Amino acid sequence: MISIRCFIPEPCKKLLRKMRQGLYAVAYVRAPSESAHFCPVCEKGLVRFRKLSYGDTKCFICGSDERHRLVWLFLHRLTNLFDGSSRTMLHVAPEIQFENGLRAAVGPSYITADLLDPRAKVKMDITNIQYPDSFFDVIYCSHVLEHIPNDRLAMREFVRVLKPSGWAVIMVPCYPDRGKTFEDPSVTDPKERLRLFGQEDHVRIYGNDFIDRLNAAGFDVRVIRSSDFLSPAEIARFNLTTHSGDVFLCTKR
């Protein structure tokens, strides 16, 4: 389902964001030393995070949710993405919270891509990527594959265009405790998809075989959790719960 936000002119969206952020800043932003919480994405101290109906939490200022905060911390602390080296990066379905920071870190070889969002630099179907083999040093794709009918083909395309020395971060809503991935290609009605898969435009719920799918595509996978590199105090301060999910760090086999 196409979001109405895709059709709002970018200048209008920027103005609305600034107005909203100004109001929230007065109510919720404090100096980091005086705040109970901290958003590592926009680097603002907060009285609290905004709690959503399904349990996730968002930053009042930049709108980052828990998975955003987790992966941003991961990229800064466990990768060399911000070391100033020249590299080519593909960012699929780019999150607005990350674009400026990633563009500043990577430079002109930072490529945003989306099939529908006109804000992206390149229009792209990730099951048929228009770049040659071994082109990208880094690929970042978060919460996209659950929308893609042929996700296995998209994974193979990521493997194809990733350099042998490169790495990819792939994130999906994943529920390993529910068993294997549940999908039914015959389900096309948005209401039925909402009932079965949790969202009107989702086509599956990933289970404990998600890593197997990545392996079959040609990736070696390392699972990174918040507790692997953050202290309990940091996890609480950044408000990372089960909604943050896991980071799947993939390298080309």
CATH class of the domain at 63-252 = alpha beta
Nearest by Cα to 240 from 67, 96, 23, 34: 67
Q: What distances in angstroms separate CA 127 from CA 108, 152, 159, 215, 225, one per listed residue? A: 24, 9, 11, 17, 28
Taking only the tens place, the pLDDT of each residue in 34-84 is 889 999 999 999 989 999 988 899 999 999 999 999 999 999 999 999 999
SS3 of residue 26 by DSSP: helix
pLDDT digits (tens, 9 = 90+) for 140-187: 999 999 999 999 999 999 999 999 999 999 999 999 999 999 999 999
Report the predicted TM-score, pTM, of the whole model to 2 decimal places: 0.88
Give the H or E element holding residue 17.
helix 10-28
pLDDT reading at 11 higher than 70: yes
89 in Cβ contact with 106 (< 8 Å): yes
Res 3 pLDDT > 60: no
Can you give the pLDDT at residue 21?
A: 61
Closest CA to 144 of 130, 160, 155: 155
Instruction: Please report, for residues 22, 31, 74, 225, the alpha-carbon distance to residue 144 in angstroms, rounded to integers and kept in the order given.
Output: 31, 35, 19, 19
Q: Which two tokens stand for residue 66?
A: 């828990």
Contacts of 96 (CB under 8 A, 6+ apart): 63, 119
**For the chain, domain boundaries:** 63-252
Answer yes or no: are the C-beta atoms of 244 and 228 closer than 8 Å. no
